[in-house]
Amino acid sequence: MMRILKITHSATWPRLAIVAIVGLGLAGCYDNGGDPKIQIGANPVLPPLQQYLIPPIRIAKVVPWANETPTVPHGLQVQALATDFEHPRSVYVLPNGDVLVVEGNGPEAPIHRPKDLVTGWVQWFAGAKGKGGNRITLLRDTNGDGIPDVRTVFLDHLNSPFGVALVGQDFYVANTDAIVRYPYQEGQTSISAPGTKLTDLPGGPIDHHWTKSLLASLDGSKLYVGVGSNSNITENGIQAEYERAAVWEVDRASGAHRIFASGLRNPTGLAWEPETRKLWAVVNERDEIGPDLVPDYLTSVQDGAFYGWPYSYYGQHLDPRVQPQRPDLVARAIAPDYALSSHVAPLGVAMYAGADFPASYRGGAFVSEHGSWDRSPLNGYKVVFVPFSGGRPSGPAQDVVTGFLDANNQARGRPVGLAVDRSGGLLIADDLANIVWRVSSKRSEPSQDAAESK
Amino acid sequence: MTLHSPSRNTPDRMNLPFSGKAIRPILVSFPIAYFTAAFVTDLAYWQTADVMWESFSDWLITAGLVTAGFAVMVFVIDLVLGKRSRALAWPHAVGYVLAVLLSLLNAFVHSRDGYTAVVPTGLTLSALVVAILFITGWAGRALIAHHREGADL
């Protein structure tokens, strides 16, 4: 950029300025990302930061699955558990085995800058503007064949819901602006009782990252809430980030909250690591400083820790887009545990404690990578598995569920929320195709034609 | 910053129908006002780091480009209809086109997120645009005054 400016000072500036303008159109195309593999694990390679006139962008054309399904490794199988949802984002399994599908999308984004108009078009082209149901659908399999035969609206008229959690007979929904508690009796297929607000959460009017992930503590006394930032990188002002980009700890009895950890740009999925019983999260990092910056990550969430956003990333790598800087916070910023590579957009995490999958999957983390338009070539659009040992990631991420992109890099689906059902199958919400997929071990599954349920 | 020429009220011009002749000088003024205002709001952002000013700059530059687009459309329509009767005031025209092109570049710089949407590149471009408009505007007026030609931009 400064180079272009320097040129314009010379005598031939009109002509060169025109060349520079024509060059704008190409600015978004030439910067291709490298091999994502070098950005997976504890020590990702971080290239120098770039700033663009048009950031690299690549929108995957949306095509239907037709009669195809995602692809899984040998020994596993995949089928559509149910279809025709309205933007399913999360899946949750109740103690009796019923599956809840949370259907929601973000509230209408305000137009604060001309760029917001463009962003809206990009989202529309990418199929991300699908209307959210603002409801939760219940699926029940009464005859144990793996295919649900009861389908009811469990809860309706919600406000951009995402996370849900059941503690005893209290069912919590994390709407975009509040946690609401509903009474629940085992076996119930719908809740008509009015909800009681436990606490407000940071919502509109901007609500850039609207999803609120939710996880109850193991003893049930607290709720942990992933609250995303209100911007990419504070372009809506630092005031708009109050108590955002953080994991909240909410007291279940009083509704009081404290910031458990901060500097986590968008913590979209929370899970307990089964061996050490520590809190882990998947986090979406910042955009528009290069196809390989900044890697999204999976990390343990330490009480009181600061993870960098917005001032820095992966420790002390400063972001010049943030002014004024906060050297005091940067000094204590810690690097996350495990990078997933850049712009994969991890939106769900499930620690596998089931018994259905082969033994190598036990104790590790499944991470759903929604994929994004912030990078070329595309990255993500799959569910990966990160093996764990001793409560820490112990190897490279393996692709488990792929095929969300077809051979022509067209998007058939985009994985979001993950859950492990009562018999150990992995459930995947696909918010582009409006399907919930179920992955299971081949030998323990009654033979079902995957296409049958569609 | 005005593009009114001394020959504006000569009889031949007065007799022309209400087309580009009357409306173009008005259209041409809008982008100049918008770009100049964007420089002021950029300065305010630079001093305060309050995103409100950056947002103002974004809209001002965009509005400047949109109105410049209208001015160009009217200019092209006039060309096509053969209504252009006199020579351009070249310093005006070159400066104006350059200012609009740099502002287009500036709109992309301003579309960045955070501080570097303005400091240093956006602010520099805004200042450059204002400088070009004033210098070429002044040069154009001087030229007109000297030759008593119409500033038919």
Instruction: Give the count of beta carbons closer than 10 Å to the beta carbon of residue B118.
Output: 30
Beta-ladder partners of A135: A103
Measured distance CA(A203)–CA(A218) in Å, rounded:
27
User: In the 3-class helix/strand/coil scheme, how is B100-117 assigned residue by residue?
Assistant: HHHHHHHHHHHCCCCHHH
Question: What range does the domain containing B42 cover?
Answer: 6-147
What does the block give as tokens for A184?
Answer: 């629940």
Measured distance CA(A120)–CA(A128) in Å, rounded:
9
Q: How far is A122 from chain B (nearest CA, A)?
A: 15
Give the per-residue pLDDT at B137: 81
Give the per-residue pLDDT at B147: 66
> Contact at 8 Å (CB) between B31 and B94?
no
Whether B143 is in a domain gets the answer: yes
- A131: closest CA among A407, A331, A423, A431? A431
| Residue spans of alpha helices (H) in A293-360 | 327-331
Are the beta carbons of A115 and B121 separated by less than 8 Å? no
Measured distance CA(A374)–CA(A34) in Å, rounded:
14
Instruction: Give the count of beta carbons closer than 10 Å to the beta carbon of residue A147.
Output: 17
Give the per-residue pLDDT at B87: 58
Give the per-residue pLDDT at A145: 81
CB nearest to B109's CB, from A1, A233, A235: A1
Whether B152 is in a domain gets the answer: no
- How many domains does one find in chain B? 1
Q: How far is B101 from chain A (nearest CA, A)?
A: 7
pLDDT in tens, chain A (454 residues): 333 333 333 333 444 444 444 444 444 445 799 999 999 999 999 999 999 999 988 999 999 999 999 999 999 999 999 999 999 999 999 999 999 999 999 999 999 999 999 999 999 999 998 899 999 999 999 988 888 999 999 999 999 999 999 999 999 999 999 999 999 999 999 999 999 999 999 998 999 999 999 999 999 999 999 999 999 999 999 999 999 999 999 999 999 999 999 999 999 999 999 999 999 999 999 999 999 999 999 999 999 999 999 999 999 999 999 999 999 999 999 999 999 999 999 999 999 998 999 999 999 999 999 999 999 999 999 999 999 999 999 999 999 999 999 999 999 999 999 999 999 999 999 999 999 999 999 964 444 444 444 3
Q: Which residues of A touch B (CB under 8 A)?
A: 1-2, 4-5, 8, 13-14, 17-18, 20-21, 24, 27, 51-54, 112-115, 118, 231-237, 288, 310, 319-324
Residue type (1 letter), A199: T
Give the per-residue pLDDT at B24: 67
Q: How far is B100 from chain A (nearest CA, A)?
A: 10
Give the per-residue pLDDT at B77: 86
Measured distance CA(A47)–CA(A297) in Å, rounded:
16
Are the beta carbons of A115 and B111 separated by less than 8 Å? yes
Measured distance CA(A283)–CA(A104) in Å, rounded:
20
Whether B59 is in a domain gets the answer: yes
What does the block give as tokens for A210?
Answer: 């609207």
For the cut 60, the answer to whether the pLDDT of residue B8 exceeds it is: no
CB nearest to B114's CB, from A2, A14, A233: A233
Identify the three-state secondary structure at position A361: helix
Identify the three-state secondary structure at position A200: strand
Residue type (1 letter), A218: L
Q: How far is B120 from chain A (nearest CA, A)?
A: 9
> Contact at 8 Å (CB) between A146 and A438?
yes
Give the per-residue pLDDT at B48: 96
Confidence of residue B85 (pLDDT cuts 50, 70, 90): low
Chain B residues whose CB is inside 8 A of the A54 CB are: 108
Chain B residues whose CB is inside 8 A of the A233 CB are: 113-114
Say how many CB pairs under 8 Å bridge A and B.
85
What does the block give as tokens for B97?
Answer: 């086109």
Query: Exposed, middle or buried, A374 (CB in 10 Å: 0-12/13-18/19+)?
Result: buried
Measured distance CA(A141)–CA(A446) in Å, rounded:
13
Whether B50 is in a domain gets the answer: yes
Whether B153 is in a domain gets the answer: no
Domains present along chain A, CATH in parentheses: 63-441 (2.120.10.30)
Instruction: Give the single-character DSSP code of A405.
Output: B
Chain A residues whose CB is inside 8 A of the B125 CB are: 5
Q: DSSP states of A82-147 as a string?
A: E---SSEEEEEE-TTS-EEEEE--PPPPP--SHHHHHHHHHHHHTTTTPPP--EEEEEE-SSSSSS
CB nearest to A321's CB, from B115, B124, B128: B115
Measured distance CA(A257)–CA(A228) in Å, rounded:
16
Cis peptide before A358 (omega within 30 of 0): no
Are the beta carbons of A232 and B59 separated by less than 8 Å? no
Chain A interface disruption, residue of B97, B110, B113, B115, most A CBs within 10 A: B113
Measured distance CA(A44)–CA(A198) in Å, rounded:
39
The pTM of this model reads: 0.88
What does the block give as tokens for B44?
Answer: 């305010």
CB nearest to A320's CB, from B55, B108, B115: B115
By C-alpha distance, the chain A residue nearest B125 is A5
Please write the tens of the pLDDT for every residue from B94-110: 899 999 999 999 999 99
Give the per-residue pLDDT at A10: 34
CB nearest to B101's CB, from A1, A18, A324: A18
Whether B96 is in a domain gets the answer: yes
Give the per-residue pLDDT at A225: 98
Q: DSSP states of chain B as a string?
A: -----GGGG-HHHHTS-SSHHHHHHHHHHHHHHHHHHHHHHHHHHHHH--HHHHHHHHHHHHHHHHHHHHHHHHHHHHHHTT---S---HHHHHHHHHHHHHHHHHHHHHTSSSGGGTTTHHHHHHHHHHHHHHHHHHHHHHHHHHHT-----
Give the per-residue pLDDT at B81: 85
What does the block give as tokens for A7?
Answer: 């040129």
Q: How far is B12 from chain A (nearest CA, A)?
A: 33
User: The complex's ipTM?
Assistant: 0.85
Measured distance CA(A286)–CA(A311) in Å, rounded:
11
Token pair 């071990």 in the structure block, residue: A441
Residue A4 backbone class (left: φ over 0; alpha: ψ -120 to 50; beta: rest): alpha
Beta-ladder partners of A114: none
> Contact at 8 Å (CB) between A421 and A427?
yes
Measured distance CA(A139)–CA(A293) in Å, rounded:
39
Whether B47 is in a domain gets the answer: yes
Measured distance CA(A335)–CA(A337) in Å, rounded:
7
